[in-house]
Amino acid sequence: MNLHAPRFWETVNLLSWLLLPLACLYGLIIWCRKLAYQVGLFSTTTLPVPIIIVGNIRIGGTGKTPIVIALSKALHFYGFQPGVIARAYRAQNDQDDSSQEVLNSHSAQEVGDEPALIAQQLSALKIPIWVGKKRAQTALSLLKKHPQCNVLISDDGLQHYALGRKCAREGGRDIEILIQDARGSGNGFLLPAGPLREGTTRARDLTLELVPQGAQQYDGKLYTGSLSPIFDPKLPQMVSCEMGLAYPLHPRSTDAINVDIVPKSLHQLAGWMATHHPDKRVAAIAGIAFPEKFFGPLRAFFPDLKGVGLPDHADFKSNPFSQFPTDIYPLVLITEKDAVKCNTWNDSRVWVVPLEATLSDTLLKWITTQISRNH
């Protein structure tokens, strides 16, 4: 299954116009469904604690997971006791309506790649993560098992109206955060004529745009971004998402690159390549919705990078590294989201490059103020 976004979604073209009637029908269905919740035809569940929903209106990855991880850590250090809910997309747990806690013993195949990554990142802080198709049910299951949690973070879920909320923009203490990346809203059309689940006029409490380290290229266009110096929740806020220190997929490897400083910066890896393999290349694999988000910043360090984009949520059941001959590619870079599914492939050339979002103090202060409101 190809889970990459079609290129025609990025521009207004003949194909998008031909699909516009279907997009209008889709929009009507979305409007009727939302209205049904508003008038009480469908029931909603209101949680006893505030919830922060980190989602998007554009289908595919826009960078929600790094924000969820960064926000969870920040709230923990601010003295809150957060919990995280998500969906086990394309995993064994996603076959029915049950909810399940994500434990360190669970594989990405069982609970999904993104929940597995979130659990891996938050395990030291003992922040509970639960997965399930029904967000409200999953949230209640988490709170029943972990009653100490006083705020929940939902990885995606803006369109899950069964999960009741009174948002900060309405004087409540729940927050809807919309995440977008350099692609923006594409051609601005709803599915299937464009990439949007909902229209761009959808209300939200906060809009965050992830700014990758360096420059980013997609479909021949070059994107750059700068951090916004002023915080205003009514305006899109730029959030830095940089590549952190890389580490080997299999730390016990005896390969020469692994016996020095671990972890390494991309600058150190580039220096190692220039010193030991000046005539060879670096490869990179990304099984994410927007692979160039990973490849673009890497090219600042490895201009001759060989980037291979796989479908979003690729299962890695077959060895993805065998396509790179060892005598040509002594170094292969992958994302953390993919790394949680690659433990069975023992290849000493593979290094994992994390993406780390940085939330400003002013942004976090605004969030904590909203969720601390009295009922």
Q: Which range has the top average pLDDT, 74-83, 107-116, 261-270?
A: 74-83
Write the pLDDT tens digit of every residue in 95-145: 778 899 999 889 898 999 999 999 999 999 999 999 999 999 999 999 999
> Has residue 280 got a pLDDT over 70?
yes
Say how far apart CA 219 and CA 279 lie, in whole Å: 29
- Of residues 313 and 64, the one with the higher pLDDT is 64
> Has residue 241 got a pLDDT over 90?
no
> Which residue range is the domain that position 45 belongs to?
7-80+150-242+358-371
Tell me which amino acid residue 131 is.
V
Segment (H or E) for 336: helix 336-339
Instruction: Indicate whether 202 and 264 sit together in one domain.
Output: no
The answer to the question of residue 98 being in a domain is no
Instruction: Indicate whether 229 and 286 sit together in one domain.
Output: no
The answer to the question of residue 107 being in a domain is no
pLDDT band at 89 (very low <50, low <70, confident <90, very high): confident
- What does 45-84 look like in DSSP terms, one character per residue? B--SS-EEEEE-SBSS-SSHHHHHHHHHHHHHHTT--EEE
Mean pLDDT of 165-183: 94
Instruction: Indicate whether 180 and 216 sit together in one domain.
Output: yes
- Of residues 315 and 215, the one with the higher pLDDT is 315
Indicate the range of 9-18, 77-86, 205-214, 331-340 predicted with least confidence.
205-214
Write the pLDDT tens digit of every residue in 321-366: 999 999 999 999 999 999 999 988 889 999 999 999 999 999 999 9
The pLDDT assigned to 220 comes to: 45
The percent of residues above 90 in pLDDT, for the chain, comes to: 72
The answer to the question of residue 227 being in a domain is yes
Mean pLDDT of 26-31: 96
pLDDT band at 258 (very low <50, low <70, confident <90, very high): low
* DSSP designation for 341: T
Instruction: Indicate whether 169 and 32 sit together in one domain.
Output: yes
The pLDDT assigned to 295 comes to: 93
Task: Tally the domains of the chain.
Answer: 2
Instruction: Indicate whether 226 and 263 sit together in one domain.
Output: no
Instruction: Indicate whether 205 and 72 sit together in one domain.
Output: yes
The pLDDT assigned to 105 comes to: 85
> Has residue 237 got a pLDDT over 60?
yes
Instruction: Indicate whether 180 and 321 sit together in one domain.
Output: no
The pLDDT assigned to 213 comes to: 60
The answer to the question of residue 91 being in a domain is no
Indicate the range of 46-50, 133-137, 371-375 predicted with least confidence.
371-375
Q: Are 2 and 311 in contact (CB under 8 A)?
A: yes
pTM above 0.85, yes or no: yes
Instruction: Indicate whether 165 and 74 sit together in one domain.
Output: yes
Instruction: Indicate whether 74 and 170 sit together in one domain.
Output: yes
* Residue that is written with structure tokens 């003949």 in the block: 14
pLDDT band at 253 (very low <50, low <70, confident <90, very high): low
Instruction: Indicate whether 330 and 365 sit together in one domain.
Output: no
The answer to the question of residue 100 being in a domain is no
The answer to the question of residue 267 being in a domain is yes
* Residue that is written with structure tokens 């433990």 in the block: 343
Instruction: Indicate whether 191 and 321 sit together in one domain.
Output: no
Report the mean per-residue pLDDT for the chain: 89
The pLDDT assigned to 221 comes to: 45
Say how far apart CA 198 and CA 30 lie, in whole Å: 8
Instruction: Indicate whether 208 and 337 sit together in one domain.
Output: no
Q: Are 197 and 34 in contact (CB under 8 A)?
A: no
The answer to the question of residue 94 being in a domain is no
Mean pLDDT of 83-95: 81
Helix (H, G, I), strand (E, B) or coil at 85: strand
The pLDDT assigned to 2 comes to: 47
The answer to the question of residue 106 being in a domain is no
